[in-house]
Amino acid sequence: MDPAPPVYAALDALGIAYERHDHPAVFNAEDASKFWDPIPGVQCKNLFLRNKKGDRHYLVVLEITKRADLKEIVKLVGDDRLSFGSPERLMAELGLTPGSVSPFGLINDADGSVRVLIDQDLKKADRLIFHPNINTASVVVSWADLERFLGTRTNAVRLVTIAQGD
């Protein structure tokens, strides 16, 4: 089943304007940037993380060129060691496969348990580029519309400062 139509339906139901761009499958930020470079907007990457016990999950949203320091994110959230969630865990929590992670996966998080951390630098962007839960398409939305979408979810959302990293 194509996971993108429920994203488009959710955006349409909220009256959120978006641009849709289809492209070949991409599996990481570098691959995506090849297709995103011609699109005006801030290219975003999304990291699905879990704590050491595996009982808390985080979605970290940041600009594609930033490198998230997991030790710094641990300090931000006050949790124990963080690591990337497995493909099985990603599917169980957000209904997504690696390479297609985005905030729109929250539509599959019925209990709102995944905690969302968004780099506050994204607030400055007029246009943000994400996958619509599939890695063969991209959507562009405004910061205000991303906030509206997140406001319909029960997930905890925090704006955080993520340093540029190396």
Q: Which residues contact 28 (CB under 8 A, 6 or more apart)?
A: 99
Q: Which residues contact 13 (CB under 8 A, 6 or more apart)?
A: none
Name the residue with tokens 């488009």.
Answer: 8
Q: What is the pTM of this model?
A: 0.95
Lookup: tokens for 84: 């990337």
Measured CA angle at 3 (ends 19, 119), to 5 deg = 60
Question: Between β-strands 115-119 and 57-63, what pairing exists: parallel, antiparallel or unpaired?
Answer: parallel
Burial class, 99, CB count within 10 angstroms (exposed 0-12 / middle 13-18 / buried 19+): middle
166 residues of the chain, pLDDT tens digit each: 789 999 999 999 999 999 999 999 998 888 888 999 999 999 999 999 999 999 999 999 999 999 889 999 999 999 989 999 999 999 999 999 999 999 999 999 999 999 999 999 999 999 999 999 999 999 999 999 999 999 999 999 999 999 876 5
